[in-house]
Amino acid sequence: SAPDALSGARDLSTYPGITILLQILLSLPVTTATGESLFSSLKYIKSYLRSVMGEDRLNGLAHLFINRDIELNYSHVIDEFSQSNRRLNFI
């Protein structure tokens, strides 16, 4: 395996390039699970609600679904809405 090869290559001071190459190899990501997860999330949203929404709503739902782990300060959100102007302008 690569970790075993790296531990063996550290003993060989005559090939420092191999040690660096193995360190780079071990630092590369093995999969692209994060990107695939985001695309599968978008695919789920699009297939479930495709017929009843526009592009803006789809983008908004995708952002909400992808960033669902972010915690919100609800009291701050309530304060922002309570301080905003409630009058509607139809002109």
Of 81, 41, 37, the C-alpha closest to 63 is 41
- Residue 17: band (very low, low, confident or very high) from pLDDT cuts 50, 70, 90: confident
25-74 tens-digit pLDDT: 777 766 656 666 677 777 776 666 666 667 777 778 778 877 777 787 88
Contacts of residue 25, Cβ cutoff 8 Å, sequence gap at least 6: 2
Nearest to 26 by CA among 10, 11, 42, 14: 10
Examine the pLDDT at 76 and tell me if it is beyond 80.
yes
The answer for residues whose C-beta is within 8 angstroms of residue 19's C-beta and 6 or more apart is: 6, 9, 10, 12
pTM (2 decimals)? 0.29
